Amino acid sequence: MMAKLFRAVIMGPPGSGKGTISERIAQRFGLKHLSSGDFLRENIAANTEAGVLAKTYIERGLMVPDHVMTRLLLPRLEEMTCHSWLMDGFPCTLAQAKALNSTCDLDLVISLNIPYETLKDRLSDRWIHPASGRVYNMGFNPPRVQGRDDLSGEPLIQHDDDQPEALVARLRHYKDVAKPVIDLYKSKGILHMFSGTETDRIWPYINSLLSTKIPSRPETDTQHIPLP
């Protein structure tokens, strides 16, 4: 276990590679990857009160209100007192960032800055394994068998809110709400922004940054892992 706990957030518009990069970070540095989108989908599948409410927003390509997000996520974070974690997709508004602030001190925030055309192309090709949250892309990282998850063999699905009609509204909204959050983390001196069109070109910079802050897991140094 790491000597000091490490708490990080990864921000970026839909399709910017938060999930893909989070998985790489989790694998290399042993942080627990917490995905706000996955928490939401788990709650929707389980028909919890928050899940039923969240569904009505997600279906319309809208953000879930702050009080629903914080009620859902903060208790999960409070349970993780002994773990280092990387939170993906939360906070995405200033109110969420302030609520998170009152729960824990973040060590680092990664913000991904990816052009619109790239996001649109990626998302129209995004396929998900709902049970695990594993993400595929027909060009970038296709499944071994078309339409099937590599590990379980179960069918892959596409999210309704990845379709271009919902996407434009999601991106516009992201831009508006993320700016004050980015400014807040910038003023705290913990924001690191990465721009580009390819995850494989951004990843080495994120990897080097994190290597200066946390040791990589010993087992990943000796085993073959499929990272560039």
Ligand X SMILES: Nc1nc2c(ncn2[C@@H]2O[C@H](COP(=O)(O)OP(=O)(O)O)[C@@H](O)[C@H]2O)c(=O)[nH]1
Ligand Y SMILES: Nc1ccn([C@@H]2O[C@H](COP(=O)(O)OP(=O)(O)O)[C@@H](O)[C@H]2O)c(=O)n1
Q: Which residues are annotated as a binding site for a ribonucleoside 5'-triphosphate?
A: 15-20, 126, 135-136, 199
- Interface with ligand X: number of residues (CB under 6 A): 19
What number of CA atoms fall less than 13 Å from residue 64's CA on the CB side?
28
DSSP state of 161: G
Stretch that binds ligand Y, among 1-9, 32-40, 146-154, 219-227 (CB under 6 A): 32-40
| In the complex, least distance from residue 4 CB atom to ligand X, rounded to whole angstroms | 27
**Do strands 126-129 and 134-137 pair parallel, antiparallel, or not at all (unpaired)?**
antiparallel
Residue 106 near residue 7, CB atoms below 8 Å: yes
**Which of 11, 14, 109, 111 contacts ligand Y by CB under 6 A?**
14
- Interface with ligand Y: number of residues (CB under 6 A): 15
User: Residue 49 corresponds to which tokens in the numbers above?
Assistant: 């009160």
Stretch that binds ligand X, among 65-73, 148-156, 174-182, 193-201 (CB under 6 A): 193-201
Stretch 92-131 residues interacting with ligand Y (CB under 6 A): 92
| In the complex, least distance from residue 224 CB atom to ligand Y, rounded to whole angstroms | 28
Closest C-alpha among 219, 223, 214 to residue 25: 214
**Which of 1, 82, 139, 164 contacts ligand X by CB under 6 A?**
139
Angle at 46 between CA 57 and CA 171, to 5 degrees: 25
Residue 62: what residue type? L
Interacting residues toward ligand Y by CB under 6 A: 14, 19, 36-37, 40, 57-58, 63-64, 69, 89-90, 92, 161, 170
